[in-house]
Structure 1
Amino acid sequence: MPHDALKLLFVDDEDGLRTTFCRELRRAGYEVVDCPDGASAL
């Protein structure tokens, strides 16, 4: 992905799932912000 790739917001209440997905997305070159719930995402 180019340096100006999209920034993703990933929200999931399962820590393991969120960690795994975010790690793989970052490896693919995305900038990822992760949150454990909708309230913290806002």
Structure 2
Amino acid sequence: MIAVGLGQHSAVYRSSGSPGLLQIDCHENGQWCCGKHRIDEGD
């Protein structure tokens, strides 16, 4: 998996087996925001 930093509080992971499917690790609430295709989630 490839980790891409978003600001200081978020990280986006894209599975090499599922191109286009992004999982955003939402540290502020401890939940996973799955299925996002955009990475401009505020930062």
With normalisation by structure 2, the TM-score equals: 0.22
Greater strand content: 2
Bigger-Rg structure (1/2) = 1
Could you tell me the TM-score, scaled by structure 1's length? 0.23
Higher relative contact order (CA 8 A, sep 6+): 1
